[in-house]
Chains A and B, each alone.
Chain A
Amino acid sequence: MIPGQKQLTNMEELLEGIWKQNPVFVMVLGMCPVLAVSVSAMNAISMGLATTFVLVGSTLLVSLLRSVIPKEVRIATYIVIIATFVTVVDYLIQAISLAVYDALGAFIQLIVVNCIILGRAEAHASKNPPLRSVLNALGMGAGFTLGLFALGAVREILGAGKLFGVALFGPDFQPWVVMVLPPGGFFVLGSWLLLFNWLNSRKTDAAQAKPVEGHAHV
């Protein structure tokens, strides 16, 4: 634990990635798969789960080995571990559904360069015991999945008029095709970030408002 930082409870550790440090909306990490595979809710969730698997597996291993990994070769070690879990998840997805595998394409292999995973290994798993690391990774994975789903659902609804492949609006709906194209990814991501930043700034304003008022009276 970093000195000076308040010790989090296990629950807080888990929730950290889902809300306060959400990888997509707060840390804005791993944008490449976020923009690329979020064309449908199903793809988004598959990608989120695959990333969560790699995240949990690699942080667990890194955390278990944290005392024997010399700092000089830690990045190399992390990459080997992460690449291993990416390979495993690659096989697993092929075994579960080839349709999903084809839809995600190269982005499964590209999980290896997702900075959330290396970031978690370096910033958290290498300094924390296995249970806490796994909880944190689970939270981060859930937060990433949630972020992807938020994009994927919006893009699928607007771009195809469907959610999870189920048509929502009937035959007269004219799909907003740009939403499933790359520009749509940026539009939707931008809108979500706007919302989160607005919520955030409103909260900080509210927190600052009282002391400022107090000063005005003095």
Chain B
Amino acid sequence: MTEATLQPATPSAAMIRTLGLVATVCGVLIVTAYEGTLDAVNANKKLALERAVFKVIPGAAKVDEYFATPAGIQPAATGTPEGGVKFYAAYDQAGTLKGIAAEGAGKGYADTVRILYAYDPARQVVTGFGVVAMRETPGIGDKIYTDPAFLKNFEALDVKLSADLKSLANAVKVVKHGSKQNAWEIDAIAGATVTSKAVGRGINDSAQKLLPLLVPNLEKLNAAPQSRVSAFPPIAKGGEGGFEAAPTPSSTQNPPQPPFTKGGSDLASPRQEASS
């Protein structure tokens, strides 16, 4: 090796040949790996999504992807429409709509906190959320899915629409720890305010965009579930640390609350007009 440095340089052709050879071999390796893992990766992603949805909507057995657009809702399988907001409709074994899940994102302390929240159309409330991805400080930011007092905010977080169906009647707000007064407020975790706010903002931003498009068309979802039975049974077990869902202990047992059901009946007539 040491004598080689004194010898004349390698001709360019040899270098090009070697680099070409190496690049070809490597290219083939990469394509093989990509093709070979594609199905498994897609299945994994779908499974992860279903797990995430099943965790925030207990009792769900199948998930359908939809886009909500100003023109109505359409299944995600038909392509991504312009200005569409993606959401997931979860059905139980019998095909009844159990709830809607959608993604939200808010700027946290370290990075964007991406969450998936469950929306109960009958009561017009958010009934739980799970963390899709975040890089918050362990032991501080991750309280958003371990702190029981914080999770209590999401048993029935009010997101009902205003009378004109254009926006939320009351924007979801994160308030200082201990000062929650209304059903649309989130009591922040003391010491993890920034992450708490990210969750609140994520839900608010997403709900403000999605719900005005979704609510007028809810009947369609109730009436025509795409009966695509999930290949994966609901799994209760937690992931290895990637997806951590907020346990929603009492979200299903909660009796419907009078103020919200009233809001629902108020919407009955405008819903008809808007959907036409």
Contact = CB atoms under 8 A, between A and B. Distances in A.
Nearest to A3: B2
Contacts of A73: 15, 18-19
A165 B240 contact: yes
A103 to B, nearest CB: 5
Contact of A99 (B4, B40, B137, B241): B241
Given A80-B23, A84-B30, A91-B34, A101 B18 contact: no
Given A84-B29, A102-B133, A177-B140, A42 B41 contact: no
B138 A181 contact: yes
A105 B133 CA distance: 10
B239 interface: yes
A159 B140 CA distance: 12
Contacts of A181: 137-139
A135 B133 CA distance: 38
Interface in A70-125: 70-73, 76-77, 80-81, 83-85, 87-88, 91-92, 94-103, 105
Given A177-B139, A181-B137, A97 B240 contact: yes
Nearest to B239: A99
Interface residues on B, range: 35 or more
A160 B139 CA distance: 9
Nearest to A180: B138
A78 to B, nearest CB: 9
Contacts of B33: 87-88, 91-92
Interface in B50-94: none
Given A69-B18, A72-B9, A103 B242 contact: yes
Nearest to B111: A105
B4 A68 contact: no
Given A84-B26, A95-B41, A40 B241 contact: yes
A61 interface: yes
Contacts of A83: 26
Interface residues of A, number: 42
Interface string B6-19: 00011000110011
A70 B240 contact: no
Given A72-B15, A99-B241, A94 B41 contact: yes
Contacts of B14: 70
B22 interface: yes
Contacts of B41: 91, 94-95
B45 interface: yes
B242 A99 contact: yes
A99 B243 contact: yes
Contacts of B30: 84, 87-88
A129 interface: no
Top 3 closest pairs, chain A to chain B, by CB: A99-B242, A177-B139, A102-B242
23 contacts: A42-B241, A68-B18, A69-B18, A70-B10, A70-B15, A71-B5, A72-B15, A73-B19, A77-B19, A81-B22, A83-B26, A91-B33, A91-B37, A94-B37, A96-B40, A98-B44, A98-B48, A100-B242, A102-B242, A103-B240, A105-B135, A159-B139, A165-B240
